[in-house]
Chain A
Amino acid sequence: MLSIFKSIPTHMDYKGQKLAEQIFQGIILISAVIGFVYGLIVEQFGWTVYIVLGGFAVSCLLTLPPWPMYRKNPLPWQPVVPETSAESNQKPPENIQKKKKHK
Protein backbone atom coordinates (compact mmCIF):
# COMPACT_ATOMS: atom_id res chain seq x y z
CA MET A 1 0.00 0.00 0.00
CA LEU A 2 2.60 2.52 1.06
CA SER A 3 4.92 1.47 -1.73
CA ILE A 4 2.34 2.67 -4.24
CA PHE A 5 2.45 6.12 -2.69
CA LYS A 6 6.21 6.09 -2.61
CA SER A 7 6.45 5.34 -6.31
CA ILE A 8 4.63 8.59 -7.17
CA PRO A 9 6.99 11.52 -7.60
CA THR A 10 6.05 14.03 -4.91
CA HIS A 11 9.09 16.23 -4.72
CA MET A 12 8.78 19.96 -4.32
CA ASP A 13 11.70 22.26 -3.70
CA TYR A 14 11.75 24.36 -0.53
CA LYS A 15 10.36 27.52 -2.07
CA GLY A 16 7.69 25.41 -3.77
CA GLN A 17 6.68 23.92 -0.45
CA LYS A 18 6.27 27.35 1.06
CA LEU A 19 4.33 28.52 -1.98
CA ALA A 20 2.02 25.50 -1.83
CA GLU A 21 1.31 26.11 1.83
CA GLN A 22 0.56 29.77 1.27
CA ILE A 23 -1.70 28.92 -1.66
CA PHE A 24 -3.86 26.40 0.20
CA GLN A 25 -4.11 28.57 3.29
CA GLY A 26 -5.15 31.52 1.16
CA ILE A 27 -7.73 29.56 -0.78
CA ILE A 28 -9.31 28.01 2.30
CA LEU A 29 -9.37 31.28 4.23
CA ILE A 30 -10.95 33.12 1.29
CA SER A 31 -13.54 30.39 0.78
CA ALA A 32 -14.26 30.43 4.50
CA VAL A 33 -14.94 34.15 4.45
CA ILE A 34 -17.10 33.88 1.33
CA GLY A 35 -18.96 30.89 2.73
CA PHE A 36 -19.58 32.54 6.09
CA VAL A 37 -20.97 35.70 4.51
CA TYR A 38 -23.06 33.78 2.00
CA GLY A 39 -24.39 31.39 4.64
CA LEU A 40 -25.27 34.33 6.88
CA ILE A 41 -27.15 36.00 4.03
CA VAL A 42 -29.13 32.98 2.86
CA GLU A 43 -29.51 31.70 6.46
CA GLN A 44 -28.17 28.28 5.57
CA PHE A 45 -25.09 27.04 7.37
CA GLY A 46 -24.96 24.15 4.92
CA TRP A 47 -23.85 26.51 2.17
CA THR A 48 -20.93 27.65 4.33
CA VAL A 49 -19.82 24.05 4.72
CA TYR A 50 -20.20 23.35 1.01
CA ILE A 51 -18.22 26.43 0.02
CA VAL A 52 -15.39 25.56 2.39
CA LEU A 53 -15.42 22.01 1.03
CA GLY A 54 -15.20 23.47 -2.46
CA GLY A 55 -12.19 25.50 -1.41
CA PHE A 56 -10.71 22.35 0.06
CA ALA A 57 -11.16 20.49 -3.23
CA VAL A 58 -9.65 23.31 -5.27
CA SER A 59 -6.64 23.60 -3.00
CA CYS A 60 -6.21 19.81 -3.12
CA LEU A 61 -6.03 20.03 -6.90
CA LEU A 62 -3.65 22.96 -6.81
CA THR A 63 -1.23 21.98 -4.08
CA LEU A 64 -1.20 18.20 -3.69
CA PRO A 65 0.36 17.21 -7.03
CA PRO A 66 3.89 18.55 -7.48
CA TRP A 67 3.11 20.88 -10.35
CA PRO A 68 6.08 22.42 -12.22
CA MET A 69 5.45 25.77 -10.56
CA TYR A 70 6.63 24.27 -7.27
CA ARG A 71 9.93 23.05 -8.78
CA LYS A 72 11.35 26.27 -10.17
CA ASN A 73 14.02 26.70 -7.50
CA PRO A 74 15.92 23.45 -7.23
CA LEU A 75 18.74 23.29 -4.73
CA PRO A 76 22.20 23.83 -6.27
CA TRP A 77 23.77 20.49 -5.47
CA GLN A 78 27.52 20.04 -5.70
CA PRO A 79 28.55 18.51 -8.98
CA VAL A 80 29.45 14.82 -8.85
CA VAL A 81 33.11 14.24 -8.05
CA PRO A 82 34.08 11.43 -10.36
CA GLU A 83 37.46 9.94 -9.18
CA THR A 84 37.38 8.16 -5.84
CA SER A 85 33.75 7.25 -5.91
CA ALA A 86 34.14 5.69 -9.34
CA GLU A 87 37.03 3.55 -8.15
CA SER A 88 35.27 2.44 -5.01
CA ASN A 89 32.30 1.40 -7.07
CA GLN A 90 34.43 -0.83 -9.25
CA LYS A 91 36.36 -2.49 -6.46
CA PRO A 92 34.79 -3.23 -3.12
CA PRO A 93 36.81 -1.17 -0.66
CA GLU A 94 38.55 -2.58 2.35
CA ASN A 95 37.64 -1.61 5.84
CA ILE A 96 40.51 0.82 6.34
CA GLN A 97 39.69 2.69 3.18
CA LYS A 98 36.08 3.01 4.15
CA LYS A 99 36.93 4.55 7.47
CA LYS A 100 39.11 7.11 5.81
CA LYS A 101 36.35 8.08 3.45
CA HIS A 102 33.92 8.78 6.22
CA LYS A 103 36.38 11.12 7.88
Chain B
Amino acid sequence: MNTVLSRANSLFAFSLSVMAVLTFGCFITTAFKDRRVPVDIRVSRVLLKNVDDFTGPRERSDLGFVTFDLSADLQPIFDWNVKQLFIYLSAEYATKANSLNQVVLWDKILIRGDNAKLNLKDTKSKYFFFDDGNGLRSNKNITLTLSWNVVPNAGILPLVVGSGHVSLPFPESYENTKSY
Protein backbone atom coordinates (compact mmCIF):
# COMPACT_ATOMS: atom_id res chain seq x y z
CA MET B 1 0.00 0.00 0.00
CA ASN B 2 1.32 3.40 -0.94
CA THR B 3 0.87 5.93 1.83
CA VAL B 4 2.72 9.01 2.98
CA LEU B 5 4.61 6.89 5.47
CA SER B 6 5.65 4.27 2.96
CA ARG B 7 6.79 6.95 0.55
CA ALA B 8 8.70 8.68 3.33
CA ASN B 9 10.29 5.38 4.22
CA SER B 10 11.50 4.63 0.73
CA LEU B 11 12.66 8.21 0.27
CA PHE B 12 14.66 8.10 3.49
CA ALA B 13 16.16 4.71 2.73
CA PHE B 14 17.17 5.83 -0.74
CA SER B 15 18.76 9.02 0.63
CA LEU B 16 20.72 7.04 3.18
CA SER B 17 22.00 4.64 0.56
CA VAL B 18 23.09 7.53 -1.64
CA MET B 19 24.81 9.15 1.33
CA ALA B 20 26.66 5.93 2.08
CA VAL B 21 27.88 5.77 -1.52
CA LEU B 22 29.02 9.40 -1.32
CA THR B 23 30.90 8.73 1.91
CA PHE B 24 32.63 5.80 0.27
CA GLY B 25 33.50 8.11 -2.62
CA CYS B 26 34.98 10.58 -0.16
CA PHE B 27 37.13 7.78 1.23
CA ILE B 28 38.22 6.43 -2.12
CA THR B 29 39.23 9.86 -3.48
CA THR B 30 41.70 10.30 -0.63
CA ALA B 31 42.68 6.73 0.17
CA PHE B 32 45.83 6.62 -1.94
CA LYS B 33 47.12 10.06 -1.14
CA ASP B 34 50.65 10.50 0.13
CA ARG B 35 50.35 12.33 3.41
CA ARG B 36 54.02 12.69 4.13
CA VAL B 37 55.35 16.19 4.55
CA PRO B 38 58.89 17.46 5.08
CA VAL B 39 59.62 18.25 8.69
CA ASP B 40 62.51 20.23 10.08
CA ILE B 41 63.53 19.31 13.62
CA ARG B 42 66.44 20.89 15.42
CA VAL B 43 67.57 20.21 18.92
CA SER B 44 68.85 23.28 20.67
CA ARG B 45 69.67 21.92 24.11
CA VAL B 46 70.04 18.53 25.70
CA LEU B 47 70.25 17.97 29.43
CA LEU B 48 70.66 14.66 31.15
CA LYS B 49 69.86 13.89 34.74
CA ASN B 50 69.87 10.80 36.85
CA VAL B 51 66.93 10.92 39.20
CA ASP B 52 64.64 8.67 41.15
CA ASP B 53 61.91 7.30 38.96
CA PHE B 54 59.06 7.03 41.43
CA THR B 55 56.76 5.40 38.93
CA GLY B 56 59.02 2.52 38.14
CA PRO B 57 61.63 0.54 39.99
CA ARG B 58 63.06 2.42 42.96
CA GLU B 59 66.30 3.04 41.21
CA ARG B 60 67.82 6.02 39.62
CA SER B 61 66.89 6.29 36.00
CA ASP B 62 68.02 8.53 33.21
CA LEU B 63 65.86 11.54 32.53
CA GLY B 64 66.50 13.58 29.43
CA PHE B 65 65.41 17.14 28.80
CA VAL B 66 65.31 18.00 25.13
CA THR B 67 64.59 21.49 23.90
CA PHE B 68 63.76 21.53 20.23
CA ASP B 69 62.82 23.69 17.30
CA LEU B 70 60.20 22.34 14.96
CA SER B 71 58.93 23.68 11.68
CA ALA B 72 56.60 21.96 9.27
CA ASP B 73 53.80 22.97 6.98
CA LEU B 74 51.02 20.45 7.47
CA GLN B 75 48.48 22.31 5.35
CA PRO B 76 48.89 19.95 2.32
CA ILE B 77 47.70 17.04 4.44
CA PHE B 78 44.29 18.52 5.02
CA ASP B 79 41.65 17.65 2.46
CA TRP B 80 37.95 16.92 2.60
CA ASN B 81 38.50 13.63 4.37
CA VAL B 82 40.60 14.94 7.24
CA LYS B 83 39.03 16.08 10.46
CA GLN B 84 42.12 16.49 12.55
CA LEU B 85 45.71 15.48 12.90
CA PHE B 86 47.30 14.08 15.99
CA ILE B 87 50.95 15.07 15.80
CA TYR B 88 53.55 13.66 18.09
CA LEU B 89 57.28 13.92 18.45
CA SER B 90 58.87 10.69 19.51
CA ALA B 91 62.38 9.67 20.42
CA GLU B 92 63.69 6.31 19.30
CA TYR B 93 66.84 4.73 20.55
CA ALA B 94 68.38 1.37 21.30
CA THR B 95 69.72 0.25 24.63
CA LYS B 96 71.32 -2.93 25.85
CA ALA B 97 68.06 -4.05 27.39
CA ASN B 98 65.78 -3.17 24.48
CA SER B 99 66.61 -2.94 20.83
CA LEU B 100 63.91 -0.33 20.30
CA ASN B 101 62.68 2.26 22.77
CA GLN B 102 60.06 4.79 21.80
CA VAL B 103 59.17 7.73 24.00
CA VAL B 104 56.67 10.40 23.07
CA LEU B 105 58.07 13.77 24.03
CA TRP B 106 55.50 16.18 22.75
CA ASP B 107 52.16 16.08 20.98
CA LYS B 108 49.51 18.34 19.59
CA ILE B 109 46.07 18.02 18.09
CA LEU B 110 45.57 20.06 14.94
CA ILE B 111 41.91 20.52 14.18
CA ARG B 112 40.82 21.40 10.68
CA GLY B 113 40.87 25.16 10.33
CA ASP B 114 43.69 25.64 12.82
CA ASN B 115 46.90 27.21 11.65
CA ALA B 116 48.64 24.20 10.13
CA LYS B 117 52.06 25.85 9.87
CA LEU B 118 54.01 24.58 12.82
CA ASN B 119 56.81 26.84 13.90
CA LEU B 120 58.09 26.11 17.37
CA LYS B 121 61.19 27.65 18.87
CA ASP B 122 62.98 26.37 21.95
CA THR B 123 60.06 24.22 22.98
CA LYS B 124 60.38 22.05 26.01
CA SER B 125 59.06 18.55 25.79
CA LYS B 126 55.60 18.01 27.18
CA TYR B 127 56.26 14.62 28.71
CA PHE B 128 59.16 13.24 30.72
CA PHE B 129 61.83 11.54 28.70
CA PHE B 130 62.54 8.75 31.15
CA ASP B 131 64.55 5.75 30.22
CA ASP B 132 63.77 2.59 32.13
CA GLY B 133 67.36 2.29 33.20
CA ASN B 134 70.55 4.07 32.38
CA GLY B 135 70.37 3.80 28.63
CA LEU B 136 70.37 7.48 27.83
CA ARG B 137 73.82 8.39 29.05
CA SER B 138 76.34 8.51 26.22
CA ASN B 139 73.82 7.04 23.86
CA LYS B 140 75.17 7.94 20.46
CA ASN B 141 72.02 7.70 18.43
CA ILE B 142 68.77 9.10 19.70
CA THR B 143 66.43 9.88 16.84
CA LEU B 144 63.63 12.39 17.07
CA THR B 145 60.81 11.87 14.59
CA LEU B 146 57.57 13.69 14.01
CA SER B 147 54.63 11.45 13.14
CA TRP B 148 50.94 12.01 12.83
CA ASN B 149 47.68 10.17 12.86
CA VAL B 150 45.22 11.36 10.25
CA VAL B 151 41.68 11.29 11.62
CA PRO B 152 39.37 10.97 8.62
CA ASN B 153 35.66 11.48 8.03
CA ALA B 154 35.45 8.02 6.54
CA GLY B 155 37.89 5.23 6.03
CA ILE B 156 41.16 4.15 7.51
CA LEU B 157 43.17 5.92 10.20
CA PRO B 158 46.63 6.24 8.67
CA LEU B 159 49.75 6.67 10.75
CA VAL B 160 52.25 8.76 8.83
CA VAL B 161 55.87 9.28 9.69
CA GLY B 162 57.09 12.67 8.60
CA SER B 163 60.12 12.77 6.36
CA GLY B 164 62.90 14.50 8.18
CA HIS B 165 64.28 13.44 11.53
CA VAL B 166 67.23 14.35 13.63
CA SER B 167 69.68 12.06 15.36
CA LEU B 168 71.75 13.29 18.24
CA PRO B 169 74.17 11.94 20.78
CA PHE B 170 73.37 12.33 24.44
CA PRO B 171 75.92 13.75 26.85
CA GLU B 172 78.44 11.60 28.63
CA SER B 173 77.79 12.92 32.08
CA TYR B 174 74.84 13.74 34.24
CA GLU B 175 73.84 17.24 35.16
CA ASN B 176 73.98 17.80 38.89
CA THR B 177 70.58 18.17 40.37
CA LYS B 178 70.96 20.96 42.88
CA SER B 179 67.50 21.30 44.29
CA TYR B 180 65.49 18.18 44.18
- A residues neighboring B (CB under 8 Å): 5, 8, 10, 12, 17, 20-21, 24-25, 28-29, 32, 35-36, 39-40, 42-45, 48-49, 52, 55-56, 59-60, 63-66
Contacts and interface: CB of A to CB of B under 8 A. Distances in A.
A40 B80 contact: yes
- Do most interface residues of chain A lie in helix, strand or loop, or is the interface mixed? helix
Contact of B15 (A21, A36, A52): A52
Nearest to B26: A45
A63 B2 CA distance: 12
A21 B153 CA distance: 31
A19 B8 CA distance: 15
Nearest to B6: A10
B18 A52 contact: yes
Contact of A28 (B2, B14, B80): B14
A64 B7 contact: yes
Interface string B65-109: 000000000000011110000000000000000000000000000
Given A40-B80, A52-B15, 6 more contacts: A5-B3, A5-B5, A10-B3, A45-B23, A63-B11, A66-B4
Interface string B27-58: 00100000000000000000000000000000
B17 to A, nearest CB: 9
Nearest to B23: A45
A43 B79 contact: yes
A22 to B, nearest CB: 12
B120 interface: no
Nearest to A2: B5
In which size bucket is the chain B interface? 20 to 34
B4 A43 contact: no
A35 B19 CA distance: 10
B93 to A, nearest CB: 39
A20 B15 CA distance: 15
Interface of B: 2-5, 7-8, 10-12, 14-15, 18-19, 21-23, 25-26, 29, 78-81, 153
Contact of B4 (A21, A36, A49, A65): A65
Given A24-B11, A35-B22, A64-B7, A44 B80 contact: yes
B171 to A, nearest CB: 46
Given A12-B2, A43-B79, A56 B11 contact: yes
A43 B15 contact: no
Nearest to B29: A40
Contacts of A45: 23, 26, 80-81, 153
